Amino acid sequence: MKDAEAPRLLVVGVALLVGVFGIWIAYWLCNEVLNLIPSETLRERIRPVIFVGPALALLIIYLVYPTVMTAYYSVLDKNSEAFVGLDNFKFAFTNRTIQIALRNNVYWIVGVTSFSVIGGLIMAVLFDKVRYEAVAKSMIFLPMIISFVGAGVIWRFMYASNPPGVGLLNAFIGNFDFKPVAWLINKSVNNIALIVIMIWLQTGFCLVILSAALKAIPADIIDAARVDGAGELDIFWRIIIPSLKTTILTVVTTVVIAVLKVFDIVFVMTNGNYETEVIANRMFTEFFRNQNYGLSSALTMILVIAVLPVMIINVRNARRQRG
């Protein structure tokens, strides 16, 4: 083990130990406080406050407060000194570089959501009730355990184009006498190349969720349809798709939220160069490199506004499923 890794592992171990014991002690203290209250009615009224209160406090401190302050800084100038109103937002929607980032975000949403959800659904149907189903699903789901940074590093080797370290993809097309392609530099294909990585990561998630929902469809319904002469396509479109509608909506919204926040893959692969930048990367650049706190906060709020309706749809859909 390298000397530099030992302190990190020690910190992680201590953090886990303190965290586990801290949560246990907090739970014990909450129960002790409740036991001191003589009235059963009062105890039941206070119980939600004691157990949920700390979580709500942390939510306010680490989520609500930063969001409010980000909204506040978004209407200030670069140095967060003078009020500029909506100028940062106007600049964001009129600046050529940021327009490209917004366009790329749309590409990511359409490309990743479409291919990962449709691919996951098709594989869920094809793998259903076949031999070695669990093995096939595990292989497709495996990329989900890889971090976005790790996936970026793996696919950077796949897309490598400079000899002698030609990547696997260029080595493959080289067998057919094609010249190596600069996948990450060529503006006609680089965004597609990055989107493919996210599809590779998200398809397994879609497959597992949709496969679980598919198995919840009563077999009697499908068997009755077959007895009535329905073909497999009829069963798919008239029974499976309507039965999975709410689950598909949940999967779609979850993938959209993940795509809107994408940062790591672009940062590792191209650092936002060659017109591959997305909003999260631009926000990072404006905050840490250009130190334009007003514009970076405005870009953050654009992401928040984009994610918020998707989250609302997801929550309503979850309530509908429970109800």
**If you ran DSSP here, which 8-state letter would residue 215 be given?**
H
Q: Report pLDDT digits (tens) over 70-81.
A: 999 999 999 888
Q: From 144, 141, 323, 321, select the one nearest 249 (Cα to Cα).
A: 321
Closest by CA position to 72, among listed 88, 57, 58, 59: 88
**pLDDT value for 11:** 80
Query: What is the structure's pLDDT at 323?
Result: 61
Q: What is the pLDDT of residue 76?
A: 94
Q: Which of 177, 186, 183 is nearest to 158 (CA)?
A: 183
pLDDT tens, position by position, 36-50: 888 878 878 888 888
Q: Is the pLDDT of residue 5 over 60?
A: no
* Percent of the chain residues topping a pLDDT of 90: 52
Which class in CATH covers the domain with range 87-322?
Answer: mainly alpha
Q: Residue 204 in contact with residue 140, Cβ under 8 Å?
A: yes
Q: Tens digit of pLDDT for each residue in 200-234?
A: 999 999 999 999 999 998 889 988 988 888 888 89
State percent of the chain over pLDDT 70: 97
Has residue 2 got a pLDDT over 60?
no
- Bond from prior residue into 309 cis (ω within 30 degrees of 0): no
Contact 230, 277 (CB under 8 A): no
Q: Would you state the pLDDT for residue 54?
A: 81
Helices 190-215/245-260 angle, 10° precision: 150
- The amino acid present at 137, given as its one-letter code, is K
Dist CA 170 CA 175 (whole Å): 9
Q: Which pLDDT value is given to residue 26?
A: 81
Residue 27 has a pLDDT of 82
Longest dimension (CA), the chain: 84
Name the pLDDT band for 95 (thresholds 50, 70, 90): very high
Looking at per-residue pLDDT, the higher value among 100 and 177 belongs to: 100
Residue 1's pLDDT band (cuts 50, 70, 90): very low
Residue 192 has pLDDT above 90, yes or no: yes
> Of 90-94, 110-114, 177-181, 188-192, which gets the smallest average pLDDT?
177-181
- The residue-averaged pLDDT of 4-20 equals 74
Residue 316 has pLDDT above 90, yes or no: no
